[in-house]
Amino acid sequence: MKKTILSVTLAASVLGLAACSGGDDKTNLVTSKDYGNITTAEFNEASHELTGPYVLKQLMLEKVLGEKYKVEDKDLDEAMKPVKEQYGDDFEAELAKNGLTVEGFKKTLRLQLMQEKLLQDKAVDEAEVKKTYEQGKYELKGRHILVEDQETADKVMKELKDGKKFEDVAKEYSTDPGSKDKGGDLDWFQQGTMVPEFNDAAYELELNKVSEPVQSSFGFHIIEITDKREVKDYPKFEDKEKEIREGILAGLTQSGEAGALLEELQGELLKEAGFKTDDKLLKESLNIYNTVGEEDKADDKKSDDKEEPKADEKDKEEK
C-alpha cells in the first residue's frame, strides 16, 4: 500500500506544482540576497515547460473519463481507508512532506480509480469473465507431476503411457516438494488457486484423463483430475462479477500488461475527444493524440502513389 500512496503522491505533486503559480508575474516568488530573486513569471515558464504536457494530459483525462466512469465519494473514501490506516495520525503529515493537501491527494486518487474502471470495462475480456465464473462453480481434486524441462516431461509421458502408475512416476520425477512424496496428490482446490496455465488445463480435463505437458513459470506439469464437486451456495453471476473482473485486472497488472493497455485505451479516448489549443508547447503534446491513426492513412496514400507509376510503366510496355 505504501507504493500506492507514493505513486499517487508523485502524480499529485506535479499537479500541485502547476497549480501554485498564481499571482502577479513580476512578483518575487522566491528571494535571495546573494543569488537574486525568482519571479512568478520565471516559475510559471519553467513549470509550463517541465510539467505542462503531463498536467494537460491529467486534466484532459479527468474530463473524458469523468463522463463515463464517475467515482462516487463513498468509493473514494473506501480506497483511501487502507492508506489512512497505514499512516494513521501521520497521514496528513506524510502528504505535507510532498507539498500536498488531502484534497489534492483525493483528486489524483479519483483519477486512478477512473482509470481502473476504464481497464475493467475495456481490457477485461467478457469471455474470460464468464469462463472464470463457470469454473468457479466447481472444486477439483487432482494430482500432478512437475518437471523442469520438456525432455523430462516427454520421458514422464512415455512411462505413463507404458502403464507405470502415476503416483510412482510422481515420486520418482516430480520437483514439487509439496506433493512429490504423496504421489503428486494436490487434494481439493478451487478456481484461481493455481497458476493460470495449470488452472485452465485442469478445468478442461475429463475425469481420470492425463493431460499433455502444460508449461507454466514453474516448469512442465502433467495433470490428472480424479474428482469434481459443486461449490455449495455459489453466488449468482451479478454478485460475483465485480470480484472476477478485479481478479483478472490484478493478473494483468502483475504481468505488466495493464500499463500498456491503459496507455493505448487513454490515447484512443483523447483522440476521439479532439482537444485543441493555441499554446505552442501544449499543441505538440496534443498532436501525439490527434495524429494517432493518421500515420497509417499517410502510409496507405504513399503506397497508392507508388503504385501509380508502375501502372503507367506497364501501359508503356504494352504500347
Instruction: Dig out the grid coordinates for 130 from the structure.
Output: 464468464
Instruction: Dig out the grid coordinates for 248 from the structure.
Output: 483478472
pLDDT of residue 37: 84
User: How is 151-208 classified by DSSP, letter by letter?
Assistant: HHHHHHHHHHHTT--HHHHHHHH---TTTGGGTTEEEEEETTSS-HHHHHHHHHSPTT
Q: What is the DSSP letter of 148?
A: S
pLDDT of residue 162: 97
pLDDT of residue 253: 84
Rounded Cα distance between 182 and 179, Å, is 5
Cβ atoms of 180 and 164 closer than 8 Å = no
Block mean pLDDT (10 aa), the chain, length 319: 44 47 62 80 77 83 91 92 90 86 89 91 90 97 98 98 98 97 98 95 98 97 98 97 90 84 89 85 76 46 49 49
Residue (of 296, 293, 294, 288) closest to 60 by Cα position: 288
Quick count: other Cβ atoms within 10 Å of Cβ 162?
Answer: 7
Residue (of 78, 118, 145) closest to 269 by Cα position: 118
Domains for the chain: give ranges and CATH numbers. Answer: 2-121 (no CATH), 138-230 (3.10.50.40)
Cβ atoms of 133 and 237 closer than 8 Å = yes
3-class SS of residue 222: strand
Q: How many residues does the chain have?
A: 319
pLDDT of residue 198: 98
Across the chain, which distance is largest between two alpha carbons, in Å? 90
The pair phi, psi for residue 141, each rounded to 5°, is -115, 130
Q: Which of 82-88's residues contact partners 24+ apart within 8 Å by CB, and which partners?
A: 82/1, 82/4, 83/1, 83/4, 83/5, 86/1, 86/2, 86/5, 87/5
The phi-psi region of residue 183 (left if phi > 0; otherwise alpha if psi is between -120 and 50; otherwise beta) is left
Residue (of 53, 123, 63) closest to 269 by Cα position: 63
Rounded Cα distance between 80 and 106, Å, is 8
Q: What is the dihedral of CA 94, 251, 265, 285, to 10 degrees?
A: 40
pTM greater than the 0.85 cutoff: no
pLDDT of residue 217: 94
pLDDT of residue 296: 44
At 207, the amino acid letter reads: L
Burial of 296 (0-12, 13-18, 19+ CB in 10 A): exposed
